[in-house]
Amino acid sequence: MKPKKRKLLDLLMLFLLLSGIGILAYPFVSDALNNYLDQQIISHYQQQAVKENEEVMAKIQENMTKKNQQLAKEGGNSGADPFTKKKEPVKKDRTYFEKHTIGILTIPKINVNLPIFDQTTMKLLEKGACLLEGTSYPIGGKSTHAVLSSHRGLSQAKLFTNLPQLKIKDHFYIEINGQYLAYQVDQIKTVEPTETEALQIQEDQDLVTLVTCTPYMINSHRLLVRGHRIVVEPEEIKESLEKVKQAKCTAFLFVSGLIGVLLLLFLVILIKFLKK
């Protein structure tokens, strides 16, 4: 084989090799980048919460409580299925997500730590957990039922992908308005998208339901994971939150290191190729 043809063949093999590695690495890299953005949104929310004085936080809490009380009187209305809304064509920057962040959802068992958004849009569903319109704010209290939804099976982010791993008695936590709320899973069910009976407010109950699509990549039904409020010491909750953050940080560092190794490998191969 002529040297020129050999060189072209080597270049093609190098391109195919790197393309294959890139395709395999894409889900991990994309998820790591999305996790990084989520943590930036969460950090911004926590910093703003620290800056706000107690009077402002109390006012926000009071407004949410009033809306929840009104909703309880009206019986609640979970509205349309969150996963059937039209996709917005406009690209959103980080400030858009920060503006709509009202809290943080943490699920230790599956290492989920997501911002909670105050409304449901397709863009917000791709970045965190969205409050379903017509359901209670996730601030706790009797006769409240908050419904938080997020995507599953996206190539660029895990979000609620591993939600089916949750079992009865598992815990998840919500940080909102300076409070830490704990919930214990007490019901897991699969329903049709139009079935909303399980999302209704129940008198004197303090409930939160996590919703995502199922079966995986088919999305014909909705998985509902409901939890009821339990009493857990704030320090225990903070410890669980810190473990999740550490796990995410470790994953990000691993992916960053992997990218660095692949780039170094590419440069070494490229230099050797150019020297031939």
CB atoms within 10 A of CB 23: 9
Q: What percent of the chain has pLDDT over 90?
A: 50
CB atoms within 10 A of CB 3: 8
- pLDDT bin (cut points 50, 70, 90) of residue 264 is confident
**What would the mean pLDDT of 111-115 be, rounded to a whole number?**
93
User: Would the pLDDT of 171 be above 90?
Assistant: yes
CB atoms within 10 A of CB 276: 8
When mean pLDDT is compared across 45-59, 149-163, 165-179, the lowest value belongs to 45-59
Phi, psi of 63 (to 5 degrees): -65, -40
CB 112 within 8 A of CB 148: no
User: Would the pLDDT of 129 be above 60?
Assistant: yes
73-78: list long-range contacts, CB under 8 Å, 24+ apart. Answer: 75/200, 75/201, 76/134, 76/135, 76/136, 76/145, 76/199, 76/200, 76/201, 77/134, 78/132, 78/133, 78/134, 78/135, 78/147, 78/196, 78/199, 78/200
pLDDT for the residue numbered 211 = 98
CB 224 within 8 A of CB 213: no
Q: In the numeric block, which tokens belong to residue 80?
A: 């349309």
In terms of DSSP H, where are the helices of 52-152?
54-74, 94-99, 122-125
Active-site residue identified among 100, 130, 171, 213: 213
Domain boundaries, the chain: 3-275
pLDDT for the residue numbered 7 = 66
Active-site residue identified among 100, 145, 151, 171: 151
When mean pLDDT is compared across 154-163, 195-204, 253-262, the lowest value belongs to 253-262
**pTM of the entire structure?**
0.80
When mean pLDDT is compared across 41-50, 165-174, 179-188, the lowest value belongs to 41-50
The position carrying tokens 């908050």 is 146
List, for residues 63-105, the tens digit of each pLDDT value.
Answer: 999 999 999 988 776 666 777 765 565 667 889 999 999 999 9
Superfamily of domain 3-275: Sortase (2.40.260.10)
pLDDT for the residue numbered 98 = 92
CB 103 within 8 A of CB 176: yes
CB atoms within 10 A of CB 216: 12
- pLDDT bin (cut points 50, 70, 90) of residue 153 is confident
213 catalytic? Reply is yes
